[in-house]
């Protein structure tokens, strides 16, 4: 057993932390919350230069060829910095789907462009039902003249407002997990309309409607009707990737809070000398470390290609709740100053709620654990 990062990972972590400290200060984070696009193209270009946009893709597709575990290390730093923008959607979601389902040609072209920082992409999966279950996918794609015509509404699509291409999960027939197909759709295609939603994390989630959107044969990613298993794999990785971001945010909130409780004086002593505050900080530390190990265990297993359904579900169910709990304690220790927009505490508190409900919340993943430990489905 070895619970530490490798030397290379330590280096990646340090580089990422320094880079983001310089390039992604909280002023940028705040600015991007109000920004139409929600990201800085200059920063994106610099991230591509660092090899970040191609980090997990094989070298033969233009990527850097790092492992999923390495990616988790980077994502942790991104979570710590509250990095705004379409990295997650492009690399983890769309990139992940293209890796899973794409033809050689599609991978060459799309992963190459992503790695170069020239292509922003996203995954259009969930719908107004707000569900991650195959059953609830209702956007349809009807075969027509060699291609397909897509109709329906996707909701909570991250960064669709700036994407160059969307991977759209649509029903080409059948029921449940059968008959779902992945399509590459140009967000500027006629019949596609995109509206930004107003969200708690001020991230760029969008409503995307498809009104008789025609796509050609070459738009299919993978095989017609066989898309869902790919989506499941992407969702597993996305859940753990989100955990890594949460761990980074949680670590930062803990550090901020411990520092503040050493500085803030009330009753003639640092508030950190009161046991009530010490206990809050200790509880936060337990939540950070618990989240870290359960998340990295899952990331490692995915990286090694091991079956990890249960570990992924345990990681997301635990970390979703722990991060939210921890940010609430962070606020409690900060008192009034943390309740202001100018303070960084709220940036994390809002993101914790968004991260909690994204890719399945605690309940969703506890259900997965229930099946994994052999509890029969309720009658």
Partner 1 sequence: MEFKFTETQDKLRAEVRSFLEEELKHGSFEPSNDAWIDGYSKEFSRKVGAKGWIGTIWPKGYGGKEWSFVDRLIITEELLRFGAPVAYHWMSDRQCGPCVIAYGSDEQRKDILPRIIKGEVSFALGMSEPDSGSDLASLQTRAVETEDAFIINGQKIWTSGAHEADYIYLVARTDPDVPKHKGISEFIVDLKLPGITVKPIVDMMNSHHFNEVYFDSVRVPKSALVGERNRGWYQIAVQLDYERSGLERIMSPYPMFHMMLDLARQEPVLYNNPEVRHKLTDLVVKFEVGRLLIYRVAWTLSQGRVPNFESAMAKIYGTAFEQHLSHMATQVLGLSGQLMEDSRWAPLRGLASRSYLFCAGATLRGGTSEILRNIVALRGLGLPSQ
- Binding site residues, ligand FAD, CB under 6 A: 264, 266-267, 271, 274, 276-277, 332-333, 335-336, 339
Q: Please measure the distance between the N-terminal and C-terminal CA atoms of the chain and give it in whole angstroms.
A: 41
Whole-number Å distance between alpha carbons of 47 and 16:
10
Could you tell me whether strands 165-171 and 147-158 are parallel, antiparallel, or unpaired per DSSP bridges? unpaired
Site string for partner 1, 225-264 (x = CB under 8 A): ----------------------------------------
* Residue 278 in the binding site for partner 1 (CB under 8 A): no
Of these, 35, 116, 186, 207, which contacts partner 1 (CB under 8 A)?
Answer: 207
In angstroms, give the least distance from the CB of 334 to ligand FAD. 7
Distances from the Cα of 227 to the Cαs of 172, 182, 302, in angstroms?
10, 6, 20
Whole-number Å distance between alpha carbons of 230 and 227:
6
* Residue 353 in the binding site for partner 1 (CB under 8 A): yes
Whole-number Å distance between alpha carbons of 37 and 67:
30
**Would the CA dihedral through 97, 98, 104, 108 be positive or negative?**
negative
Whole-number Å distance between alpha carbons of 83 and 86:
9
For ligand FAD, the closer of residues 54 and 330 by Cβ is: 330
Residue the block writes with tokens 């709990």? 325
For ligand FAD, the closer of residues 19 and 274 by Cβ is: 274
Q: Which of 353, 359, 379, 377 is nearest to 131 (CA)?
A: 359
Residue the block writes with tokens 């009161």? 274
Q: Which entry of ligand FAD, partner 1, none binds 259, CB below 5 to 8 A by partner kind? A: none
For partner 1, the closer of residues 21 and 337 by Cβ is: 337
In angstroms, give the least distance from the CB of 136 to partner 1. 10
For partner 1, the closer of residues 6 and 266 by Cβ is: 266
For partner 1, the closer of residues 252 and 358 by Cβ is: 358
* Residue 338 in the binding site for partner 1 (CB under 8 A): yes
Residues 6 or more apart from 210 whose CB is under 8 A from it? 139, 150, 151, 152, 153, 154, 168, 185, 191, 192
Of these, 198, 305, 374, 379, which contacts partner 1 (CB under 8 A)?
Answer: 198
**Would the CA dihedral through 178, 184, 188, 190 be positive or negative?**
negative
In angstroms, give the least distance from the CB of 334 to partner 1. 9
Tokens of 74: 């980077």
Nearest residue by C-beta to ligand FAD? 335
Q: Which residues are at the interface with partner 1 (CB under 8 A)?
A: 126, 128-131, 155-156, 195, 197-201, 205, 207, 265-268, 271, 274, 276-277, 324, 328, 331-332, 335-336, 338-343, 345-346, 349-350, 353-354, 356-358, 361-363, 378
């Amino acid at each position: 057993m070895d619970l530490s990062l490798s030397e290379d990972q330590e280096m990646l972590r340090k580089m990422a932390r320094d880079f983001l400290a310089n390039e992604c200060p909280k002023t940028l984070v705040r600015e991007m919350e109000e920004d139409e696009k929600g990201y800085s193209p200059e920063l994106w270009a610099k991230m591509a230069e660092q090899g970040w946009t191609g980090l997990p893709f094989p070298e033969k597709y233009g990527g850097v060829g790092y492992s999923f575990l390495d990616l988790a290390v980077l994502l942790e730093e991104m979570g710590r910095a509250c990095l705004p923008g379409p990295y997650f959607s492009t690399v983890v979601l769309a990139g992940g789907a293209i890796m899973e389902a794409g033809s050689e040609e599609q991978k060459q072209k799309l992963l190459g462009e992503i790695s170069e920082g020239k292509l922003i992409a996203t995954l259009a999966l969930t719908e107004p039902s707000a569900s991650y279950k195959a059953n609830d996918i209702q956007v349809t794609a009807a075969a027509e003249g060699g291609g397909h015509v897509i109709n329906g509404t996707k909701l909570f699509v991250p960064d669709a407002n700036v994407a160059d291409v969307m991977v759209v999960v649509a029903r080409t027939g059948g029921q449940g997990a059968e008959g779902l197909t992945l399509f590459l759709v140009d967000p500027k295609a006629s019949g596609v309309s995109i509206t930004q939603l107003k969200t708690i994390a001020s991230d760029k989630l969008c409503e995307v409607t498809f009104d008789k959107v025609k796509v050609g044969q070459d738009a299919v990613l993978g095989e017609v009707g066989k898309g869902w298993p790919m989506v499941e794999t992407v969702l597993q990785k996305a859940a753990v990737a989100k955990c890594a971001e949460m761990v980074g945010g949680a670590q930062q909130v803990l550090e901020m809070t411990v520092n503040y409780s050493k500085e803030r004086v009330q009753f003639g002593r640092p508030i950190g000398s009161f046991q009530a505050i010490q206990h809050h900080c200790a509880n936060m530390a337990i939540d950070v470390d618990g989240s870290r190990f359960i998340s990295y265990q899952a990331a490692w297993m995915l990286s090694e290609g091991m079956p990890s359904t249960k570990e992924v579900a345990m990681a997301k169910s635990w970390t979703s709740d722990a991060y939210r709990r921890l940010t609430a304690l962070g606020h409690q220790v900060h008192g009034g100053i943390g309740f202001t927009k100018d303070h960084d505490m709220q940036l994390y508190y809002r993101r914790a709620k968004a991260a909690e409900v994204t890719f399945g919340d605690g309940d969703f993943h506890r259900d997965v654990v229930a099946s994994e430990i052999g509890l029969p489905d309720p009658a």
